[in-house]
């Protein structure tokens, strides 16, 4: 897939999501900031040809000012003009990994900003403390001592973040992820290292989403290769995915994977199905970024004659 050249990068527009202070809410004019979603959205935009310059530094400074002494982050709720911590993060490992990856997209600023460099150092140290030495993977947090498949893929996607888990016993984080999460009986990736997963009724999230996540992160150890894996996934879940927006969220991440796999038709169907829900409670800042990526690459909604079932 040919991305836009840097000189031609289309500016990301987060009007209604990003405030003057630098905060980026999960939803349109929302009252909650979850750093995970803002970081995910900005990184996806930057990786897929959009310019995030209007938001990157302000967001980094906003979040850095709220990093806790142990280097982790909370989620924030707005009370009038004030954003205050209101919940702990869902997962420290993935959030720290995305924060580090985001800081490193701005090497010049990182080099000249002592506060950013300090944050990079303490964040890397905090992430290293989450390594499970027996498996060579990362655990959710000091409190939740289990590993999550999608979290580990997000850690793996930032190359410097892998170092703490890799040693003579576990030389490759990618291989440790495969060994830990691949279930040879069901030919699927397990969502978690928690026991009893076979008794839990599968749901679109996290179960089906977990199967496509390796394609989003360009994980190399996909059985049969990325193209065959995607073809199998979209055949099984396309209709279920496109229906999610009516009761859950739009799941633009899947549309991004579809487009990158050359399945422009499914990306077009996603636009047709979900755009009526844009900026509603079913829409996140990540979905907004995916729409703008597709628009920048001239992907239009499917017409009424196209089969989107």
pLDDT tens-place string over residues 22-33: 999 999 999 999
Q: Does pLDDT of 12 surpass 50?
A: yes
Tokens of residue 215, six digits: 């394609």
Query: In percent, how much of the chain has pLDDT > 70?
Result: 97
Tens of pLDDT, residues 167-181: 999 999 999 999 999
Q: What distance in Å separates the CA atoms of residue 157 and residue 164, rounded to the nearest whole number?
A: 14
User: For residues 162 and 147, what is the distance between their CA atoms, to the nearest angstrom?
Assistant: 15
pLDDT at 7 exceeding the cut of 60: no
Residue 199 has what pLDDT? 76
Confidence bin at 198 (pLDDT 50/70/90): confident
The token pair that represents 149 in the structure block: 């498949």
Between residues 2 and 306, the one the model is more confident about: 306
Q: Is residue 6 very low, low, confident or very high in pLDDT (cuts 50, 70, 90)?
A: very low
Check: CB of residue 52 under 8 Å from CB of residue 45.
yes
Using CA atoms, how far apart are residues 112 and 174, in angstroms rounded to an integer?
33
| Rounded-to-integer distance, Cα 60 and Cα 144, Å | 27
What's the pLDDT band for 298 if we cut at 50, 70, 90? very high
- Whether the per-residue pLDDT at 272 is higher than 80: the answer is yes
Residue 293, pLDDT > 50, answer yes
Its pTM stands at: 0.96
Please give the Cα distance from 34 to 83 (Å, whole number): 11
Predicted confidence (pLDDT) at residue 2 exceeds the cutoff of 70: no
98-144 pLDDT, tens digit per residue, is 999 999 999 999 999 999 999 999 999 999 999 999 999 999 999 99
CA atoms of 27 and 257, how far apart (whole Å): 22
How far is residue 139's CA from residue 96's CA, in Å, rounded to a whole number? 12
Residues 205-223 as b/e (b if ≥16 CB within 10 A, e otherwise) read: ebbbbbbbbbbbbebeebe
Residue whose C-alpha is closest to residue 87's, from 30, 127, 43, 35: 35
Rounded to whole angstroms, the Cα distance separating 65 from 82 reads 13
- Burial label for 21, CB within 10 Å (0-12, 13-18, 19+), is middle
**CA-wise closest residue to 212 among 192, 195, 193, 237:** 237
Specify the pLDDT at position 201: 84
Residue 206, preceding peptide bond in cis (omega within 30° of 0):
yes
Where residue 3 falls among pLDDT bands split at 50, 70, 90? very low
Q: Mind listing the pLDDT tens digit for each residue in 31-71?
A: 999 999 999 999 999 999 999 999 999 999 999 999 999 99
Closest CA to 154 of 209, 233, 229: 209
- Residue 262 corresponds to which tokens in the numbers above? 């050359």
Tokens 């410097």, located at residue: 160
Res 200: pLDDT:
79
pLDDT score for 257: 98
Length of the chain: 309
pLDDT band at 5 (very low <50, low <70, confident <90, very high): very low
What pLDDT shows up at residue 197? 77
Of 217, 231, 218, 293, nearest to 266 by C-alpha is 231
């Amino acid at each position: 897939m040919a991305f836009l050249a840097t000189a031609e990068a289309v500016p990301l527009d987060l009007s209604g999501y990003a405030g003057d202070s630098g905060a980026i809410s999960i939803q349109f004019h929302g009252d909650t900031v979850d750093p995970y979603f803002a970081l995910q959205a900005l990184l996806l935009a930057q990786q897929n040809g959009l310019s995030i310059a209007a938001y990157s530094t302000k967001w980094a400074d906003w979040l850095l000012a709220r990093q806790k002494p142990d280097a982790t982050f909370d989620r924030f709720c707005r009370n009038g003009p004030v954003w205050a911590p209101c919940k702990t993060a869902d997962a420290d490992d993935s959030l720290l990994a995305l924060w580090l990856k985001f800081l490193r997209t701005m090497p010049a600023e990182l080099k000249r900003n002592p506060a950013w460099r300090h944050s990079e150092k303490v964040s890397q140290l905090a992430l290293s403390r989450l390594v499970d030495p027996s498996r060579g993977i990362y655990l959710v947090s000091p409190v939740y001592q289990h590993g999550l498949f999608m979290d580990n893929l997000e850690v793996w996607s930032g190359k410097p973040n892998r170092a703490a888990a890799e040693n003579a016993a576990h030389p490759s984080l990618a291989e440790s992820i495969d060994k830990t999460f691949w279930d040879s009986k069901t030919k699927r990736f397990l969502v978690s290292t928690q026991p009893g997963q076979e008794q839990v009724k599968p749901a679109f999230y996290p179960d089906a989403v977990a199967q496509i996540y390796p394609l989003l992160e360009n994980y190399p150890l996909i059985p049969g290769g990325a193209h065959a894996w995607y073809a199998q996934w979209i055949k099984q879940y396309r209709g279920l995915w496109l229906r999610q927006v009516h009761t859950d969220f739009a799941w633009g991440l899947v549309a991004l994977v579809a487009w990158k796999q050359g399945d422009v038709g499914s990306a077009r169907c996603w636009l047709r199905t979900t755009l009526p829900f844009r900026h509603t409670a079913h829409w996140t800042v990540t979905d907004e970024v995916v729409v703008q990526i597709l628009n920048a690459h001239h992907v239009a909604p499917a017409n009424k004659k196209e089969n989107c079932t």
